[in-house]
Amino acid sequence: MAGDKDMTALVKAVADSPRRDNSVYHKAMAEAREAFAKAEIELGGPVEVRTKGKLKRNGDYVVKWTFRRVT
């Protein structure tokens, strides 16, 4: 069965591929959770967030977060 051999080859390729370093992603998500918690404390309740992103000329991608208290 060709399908079984293809699937075995695919699984082997995935298993042998180098693992991604997700540490930067995990750090960013932790900072996002912390920002939400701080905003809720400062604004005195649940918040909603709006984001605005911009690619700068130097290649940086900047994201602005604006928290607003849910009314």
Task: Name the token pair of 27.
Answer: 């750090």
pLDDT of residue 18: 81
The pLDDT tens digits of the residues spanning 7-61 come to: 888 888 877 888 788 898 899 999 999 999 999 999 999 999 999 999 999 999 9
CA distances from 28 to 8, 11, 32, 46, 66 (A): 35, 30, 6, 21, 16
